[in-house]
Structure 1
Amino acid sequence: MTRYTTADIRVGDDFLAEVACIWEVSARKLGNVHPGAHFRDVTAVEFLLSAAAIRTAFRFPGHSSTGHLIKLAARETRSAVGTNTNLGIVILLAPLVSAITTVAPFRGAVSQALERLTIRDAQLVYEAIRLANPGGLGDAPEQDVRSEPTVTLLEAMKLAADRDMVARQYANGFADVFNFGVPAFTAALARFGCVEAAIIDSQLRWLAKYPDSLIARKRGLAVAEDVQQRAAAVLELGGIATPEGRAAGVALDRHLRSDGNTLNPGTTADLITACLFVALRENMVTPSAPFRWHVSDWL
């Protein structure tokens, strides 16, 4: 009988993508869906089902282009839950799971995956976006998703990079994820000793640094910048490390949920999921790491 050791087993990127999605929705983040807070039309269950759905789509990334992975994941999600729960996540994760690391370190392989994108990838992603039908989509002055693209997916993302943080990651080689988001998460993980607190802390830092794209699309840039200032004020009080910061965070959560969840910082949640995947993929954290943050004065 063949015997295997843990050294013989490599966890697949599809599993790590699912873990990243499960962690993101399970953490009690400000203004987002989690097991203790839902929106009128979606709960944490739909996000968990969506995590399982995209694992199916990402199971054999080497056999499909980035655009095909995104279209397949959007279709699997729509079939599983009937609504858009994860389009931004899928668009961010697809080039990360497509990266071929046999010829380059992970970050270099991601850059190569982006450079390989074609017009066909853009066509497939436009189809995925129309299928998901995300809220607050609006119109684009060039290469609008309701029309047929005439440029590569990377070029289309560069056109949208000034107004959308997901597109910006394609345009800058995921620099915000690698240079800001992953270090923010790992520093918080070392500080708090559990994944949930690290996710919440890094969410505050993302919100304080960048206006959330989804809020900006739905409510305007000025409203997104107001949320940015409120998150910075929470951090100035010590963030989740102090009772004062936690109280301010709870108040910010109430504010974000006060108007029919139109202040949901959904793009920030998507970016955090990408950071979690990178941290898992690069062995900065393991799927079995302690998760729950045990405090009595949080959400």
Structure 2
Amino acid sequence: MNGPADRAQLALLLEVAGTPKPGNVDRDRDLPDLRFEHFLAGAIGARAGLELAEAGEPVGVAFERAVEGMATQRGGNTQFGALLLLVPLVCAAAQGMTRSQCESVVAETSVSDAASFYRAFDHVDVAVDDPPPDAPALDVRRGADAIPAVRERGLDLQSVLELGVPDDDVAREWVTGFERSFAAADRLADRDGPIADRAGSVYLSLLAERPDTLVATRHGESVAADVHERAATLADRNAFERDLTAVADFADDLVAAGINPGTTADLTAAGLFIALERGSITV
């Protein structure tokens, strides 16, 4: 792996290869309209945007290009949230893979970066409904139509994402110095075994830590809490190591119910990149 773009692409591939990953696509499970190969193709398509980030292009430009490329496969949105984490992390990697450097990258984002973020929504369905006529001017469902309001208010991308907290844990990473992403990287380094299997284990630990915000958005907070509590029960029993059957059953149950903790998968991908960039895990 020669550079951060290589390692970011590898992180996307390792994330989807991890199994069992309750509710998400993995190497053993597809969703009805979203399959393993869609994620592989999405990781390949995102490459040009990741290379822009490595080359020092603005975060927004690199992110929009990564999403545009990701969306060329037929499955739809595979890694939008993961790329929203990975692009600033790749930008930061040139100066050192530290939380303080990541904070500097997001603090230096611009109004143009925020405009690119909104345009990215026009490239792919990100599991949001069309905005009602009375939706706020900055509602992400507006896509590029929100850009005049962004420019009028002079909002940079970090400021826009702050508006998503606490309802979106990807946005939360942008305002907490990628706290959980770095924690995931530490857990990956501490575990043994094949990296893809460690990714599945760390995914479960993250789901046990907090309710997934994508599940809360799609299914309500009570469902997200139930999923979190079941994950916590398995993690408390160290069941990922002792009883893979129980975790696999949990995974099958969530897939059958159409419950997809996608934010937790995004955090896992970010953690994989950080660990790869630090050299604390190697392939």
Task: Provide the TM-score with structure 1 as the length reference.
Answer: 0.84
Write the deviation string for residues 12-53 of structure 1: whole angstroms up to 9, x where unpaired: 111101110110111112221123211121211111011111
The 5-angstrom pairing of residues 278-293 of structure 1 reads 278-286=274-282, 288=283
The 5-angstrom pairing of residues 251-266 of structure 1 reads 251-259=249-257, 261=258, 263-266=259-262
Q: CA deviation at 1:170?
A: 0.5
Distance 1:135 1:67, change over 3 A: same
8 Å CA contact retained: 1:53, 1:76: yes
Residue of structure 1 in register with 2:194 after alignment:
194
Residue of structure 2 in register with 1:32 after alignment:
24
Q: Give the Cα separation in 1 of the matches to 2:58 and 2:35.
A: 31
- 2:171 maps to 1:167: yes
Write the deviation string for residues 125-168 of structure 1: whole angstroms up to 9, x where unpaired: 01102322211468675721212223111011111120001000
Decide which of 138, 142, 163 is 1:143's aligned counterpart.
138
Distance 1:36 1:108, change over 3 A: same
Q: Give the Cα separation in 2 of the matches to 1:65 and 1:284.
A: 28
CA RMSD across the alignment: 1.9
8 Å CA contact retained: 2:212, 2:261: yes
Q: What secondary structure, in the 3-state scheme, does the structure 1 residue paired with 2:250 have? A: helix
- 2:77 maps to 1:118: no
8 Å CA contact retained: 1:201, 1:239: no
Q: Give the Cα separation in 1 of the matches to 2:218 and 2:128.
A: 5
| Alignment-mate amino acid for residue 226 of structure 1 | D
Distance 1:236 1:119, change over 3 A: same
Share of identical aligned residues, percent? 29
Distance 1:134 1:35, change over 3 A: same
Unaligned 5+ segments in structure 1 are 1-9, 289-299
Higher relative contact order (CA closer than 8 Å, sequence separation 6+): 2
- 2:187 maps to 1:184: yes
Q: CA deviation at 1:74?
A: 1.2
Distance 1:279 1:132, change over 3 A: same
Number of residue pairs matched by the alignment: 269
Residue of structure 2 in register with 1:293 after alignment:
none
8 Å CA contact retained: 1:142, 1:159: no
Task: Provide the TM-score with structure 2 as the length reference.
Answer: 0.89
The 5-angstrom pairing of residues 76-91 of structure 1 reads 76-81=69-74, 83-91=76-84
Question: Which is further off, 30-39 or 75-84?
Answer: 75-84
- 2:268 maps to 1:272: yes
Q: CA deviation at 1:225?
A: 0.7
| Alignment-mate amino acid for residue 17 of structure 1 | A
Residue of structure 1 in register with 2:4 after alignment:
13
Residue of structure 1 in register with 2:126 after alignment:
134
Write the deviation string for residues 68-96 of structure 1: whole angstroms up to 9, x where unpaired: 11110111122244611110011111101
| Alignment-mate amino acid for residue 219 of structure 1 | H
